[in-house]
A and B are shown apart, each in its own frame.
Chain A
């Protein structure tokens, strides 16, 4: 059963040997050049499975992988029966702090998620599970960590306008409780100044 048509994959709820599971199938994009399309899908599929595993070692909850099919760009993984933070954060702002702690853990272990939107955090039994590692990679660079933080800021300021400032503060607090943020925040400012008509909040 198709449960979500994401930006790059179709998410299906399937039966996997008697267990509920998620199939994440990266479909070919008709708009992309074939060579580019195949390389992106294959690379991201293999990479996502690997990074989901690495993140788990860093102490972050992620879905378990059941099966990987790089030829068809499909991952079968654990079904997380939860709701997305995007739909809850405006009511429960403390979730931002939890998000911050999780991102702090990732960055402490040099894992860059690459797509830290509020729809990629799921709440299950009051705990957060992080999904969608398609754009993630390993890096020690402060620049890469700062780009991750900048995206969180962008999403909070656009999709969660009413709570933006407080949510960001809680996020940074949570992050800082796990991993030193000062240098990274400085870099975030630098990145923001690179854009046109830049403005730093």
Chain B
């Protein structure tokens, strides 16, 4: 097989990242992360300005780290969606410009599918039930008939949003998962919060309201602990239901929230109960990164997918279960 070098550009939300991969693996992955001010969420326009300002440095470093010149890159992949419009457009503009100027093929990548593909590659999971948990996603999925099918998801906000919105109310800056986890470790006082599970789906909006309210008259540590326990137990139960229903023997966890140790522990327990093997994407590649886009772009390129420059737009709400998975990852994994 000819070695193909793919440059991936990620810019869906707070992270701008470039990465170079080939069939042998990830050669570089460089990121610059926009930080919102305390108590505030991500501001799309400000994040987009951050991305534009840092794009040259990130791109140059990614190429340098991979010891490759842009001229020797074979394919350029970019995240086409889903995500925040202004942020996505920065990545798309850069991808189009590079593709035109250096005359390289351009490949559009669905950011959510890319989380899953990178997870599959790094963990070598084979036929998993997959849990995608990040700021933008909270879904339980499995591959069948060439698409990722949704077996369960949140009916309203995602786990990442729950933690971030609660954290902001408590005065932290997004993303708030790490600080909530740290505070939660200092408490074992469970304060009863609404536990809402609907079949394989969860609903977090009621829990968010109750937790914010409880914040006013309770110790912060206790509420962090109770919020985490309730939210994670709900998700773990939804996963357990989906595991029992699909009878899968593998569970793959990807997305930024996969870095949470407590949640990983709960999922490990559930896998033990159902004789399933747990694959958690390495923390370094759990959050948004160029590598997910580059790797998926490479898979797509080998399957003959590319896009004309004039068609290389962005789609802010591009659901991952509408993407046909026509590439064959097995041929690239040895």
Contacts and interface: CB of A to CB of B under 8 A. Distances in A.
Nearest to B148: A158
A114 B107 CA distance: 42
Interface in B132-177: 136-137, 142, 144-145, 147, 149-156, 158
Contacts of A116: 199
Interface string A46-62: 00000000000000000
A6 B274 CA distance: 9
B155 A159 contact: no
Interface in A148-165: 150-151, 154-155, 157-159, 161-162
Contacts, number: 114
Contact of A154 (B142, B151, B270): B151
Interface string B240-268: 11011110000000000000000001100
A136 B182 CA distance: 36
A34 B151 CA distance: 28
Contacts of B317: 196-199
Contact of A199 (B137, B151, B319): B319
A36 B196 CA distance: 12
Contacts of B201: 147, 150-151, 154
A176 interface: no
A154 B229 contact: no
Contacts of B102: none
Contact of A5 (B199, B244, B319): B244
B197 A31 contact: no
A8 interface: yes
Contacts of B274: 5
Please name the 8 residue pairs, one residue from A and one from B, whose CB atoms are nearest each other, closest first.
Answer: A158-B149, A7-B241, A31-B269, A151-B199, A31-B266, A7-B244, A197-B317, A33-B229
Interface of A: 5-8, 29-36, 39-40, 86, 114-117, 119, 135, 147, 150-151, 154-155, 157-159, 161-162, 191, 194-199
25 contacts: A7-B241, A8-B241, A31-B265, A32-B229, A36-B229, A36-B233, A114-B198, A115-B241, A147-B201, A154-B199, A154-B201, A155-B245, A158-B144, A158-B149, A159-B245, A195-B153, A195-B155, A196-B82, A196-B136, A196-B154, A196-B158, A196-B317, A197-B317, A198-B317, A199-B319
